[in-house]
Structure 1
Amino acid sequence: MTARANTVAVGYLHALLDYARARGLALDALRAALPFDPSDRDARVPEALGAALFDRAAALLEDDALGLHVGEQVRPGHYGALGFVAMNCERLGEALDALRRYQALVIDLGGVGLKRDEQTCTLSWNPGTDGPYRQLAEFNLAGLVTFARWMAGAWAKPLRIDVMYAAPADTREHTRILGCPLRFAQACYRVVLPIDALDAPLIQPDPAMRELMQRLADQQLRALPRGDDWLTRLRAQIARRLRQPPVELDAVAAALALSSRSLQRRLQAEGLRFSALVEQVRRELAERHLADASLDLADIALLLGYSEQSAFQRAFKRWTGQTPAQWRAAHTEPRN
C-alpha cells in the first residue's frame, strides 16, 4: 500500500525550533534538515521532513528523548486555531472532540478515532506512513498529554498509551513525562483515559472565544489541500447518505470504487469502525445544523436520518450530555 503524503504545519514545528533555540542550538545547525521558510508558519511541509528535523536536532543535542522533551514544553500557540478551540471548551471531552475534528490543521494523523465504553475513552490513529518517525511521534504524544494536563489537571492522566514503534533502550523519560504504562510495537497509536475524564472541567472556558476560533478552524480545514484523501471522501459519502438510511458499508465502498473488504481493511488500519465513523459524522452534522437557527429540531432529525425527533433527542443527549435545545442555547446567539 502506498503511504499517504502526510504533512505538518510549520507553526507546529516551531515548538521544536523554540526548544532548540532555548538550548543554544542555532537554526543554521539545522539547516540541512530545514529546506523551508520558518517564518511562514501557515505553510505545510512533508511529514518525513518534519521527522528528519526532529532526528537531526536529537543528534545535535545528544538527546534520545528529544521528542518527549519538546512535547513537554508545548504551548497552545503551537497548535494554532486547534489549540484555542480546545482550551476554550467547557469540558475535556469537548476538547478531545475538537482535537479529533481539527488535528489535520497541525499534522496529518490519518484520521483520529474517539471510542467510548463504560470505563474508558480511547483516542486512536494510524498515520499510514513509512515511519515510524519515533521522535516526531513522541512529540505528538507528549504534547497531547501535556496540553490536556494543563487544561484539565490530574483528570488528563492516561491509563495507558500504545505506540507503533519499538521500545527504545531507555524509557525512564517516557514514564516521567507520559505518566502511564506504555505498550510498544502496536498496530496503531492509542491514548486510553478513564471515562470520567470526559466530564473534567477545563480551567478557562470561554464560549464566545471558542465559537470564534471554531469558525477560524473550520475555514482553515476547508482550505487544506486534501489530494486523494480517501477518509475525507468516505466521510462525505456517509454524510450524503444520512438522509436516507441505512448507511451501509457495501454501498459506501462501491461509491469509493473499493471492495467492502478493502474498505474494512483501511478502516482497521486507522483504528476505526464503520459504525463509529457514521456516528461521528452524524454528530458533527447535528452540531452544524443546530448552529443554523433557521432549522427547527424536526428538520434536523430528518436531515440526520431519524424517523422521529425523539430518537434524535436521545442520541444527541448520549453524545453531549445535553438536549439539542440546550446545546443550541449554549452555543448560538439568540435570533433577534
Structure 2
Amino acid sequence: MTQVLPNARRRGWRQRVVGGLVVVFLVGAGGSALAEPATKVFLNGVPAPVFFNDGDSFRVLAGQYEGGKARLAGFNTLESHGPVHQWGDWTYKELYVIAKLATLNGRNGEWHCESDLSTDTYGRTLWWCPDLAVDQVRKGLAHAMSISSEPARPELLAAQAEAIAAKRGIWAHGVPDYVLTSLHSTVEATEGQKTYNRLVSSRDGSSIKWRHDDAYTECQEVCDVGFESPERVADATQALRADARLAGFIGNYDDARLDTLLRKFAMKQDYSAQLVSPDDAAALATALEELRVAGRIGRAGITSCSYYVDFKRRFGGGKAVCLKW
C-alpha cells in the first residue's frame, strides 16, 4: 500500500481546488474566456455597462464614457495575466486563481464609482469605487494600496485587517510584509526615467518604489530583498537618534552613514564597515532588531516574489512560457 504523505495530500487537495475554481471562473464569465460580460456600474451617478478585465480595472462599453479605460483607486488585485505572484505557503498557480476570482467578483456586482477624470501614467481614468473596493479587500481578493508613502484609506485598512484576521483569500497562507505588485526591467525605461518595482505594505498600504538598475530576463523570479524608501530610512534614523540607549555614541554617526547602515541592515547585508567603533555593535543591533520587528525598517516576516514578463509577452498564443499552465 502506498503511503500518502501529509504535504503531498495537502498539495493534491489544493491542486484539485485550483482546477475547480478555474472552471467556476470560466462558467461565471459566460462559459467562454472570450466573452465580455457587462456589469452595471454607476459612473458619477449615471449607470453604464462596463467590462472588468481584472479585479481593479474595467473598460466602459457604452454611455458618456464609452471606450474609456478605468483604473480603480485605493486597492490592488493581483496580476491576472498568469501565475506571477508567490509568498508564504502559496504556489504561483493558487494565487493566480485568486486573481481570477477577484475579476469574477467585480463582474458579479453592481458598483458606484466617482472620478474627477484624472488619469494614471497609462492614460486610464482613475475612479474611486468605495463599495467595490471594500468588498474586494474584505473578501481577501485585493489589498489596500496607496501609490505614495502615505497610508491607504482607513476603511480599506479596516477591511484588510478583518480579512487578515480571518485568513481570507490572499492572506490564507501567509502575510508578507510587502506585496511585490509590479516589476519593471531597465529595458523598459524611457529616457530620463529611473526603473522601479512597486512594493505595497500589508500593514498600512503605503508604497515603496524599489529603484534599481537590473535588466531582468523573461520569467526571472524576483523577490523583495528589503529595499527601503527615503521616508522609512528617515523615520528609522530619527528613532535611533531618540533612543536613550544609544545616546553615548549615536552623535558620532552623520545621516549619510546611518542611511547606508540602515539600508544594508534592511537588505540583510553586512553593515560592520559603517560602525564608527566596534563597541557600538551590540547596542545598535538590539535597537535595529526592535525597529525591524515593529515594521519600521527591513522585513520581519514573509517575502513576496514575482515572475518578470514584459508587457508585450503577457498575452496571446506567443506569451511567455511561465504564464502557460
The normalised TM-score by structure 2 is 0.29
Higher helix share: 1
Q: Which has the larger radius of gyration?
A: 2
* TM-score of the two chains, using structure 1 as the length reference: 0.29
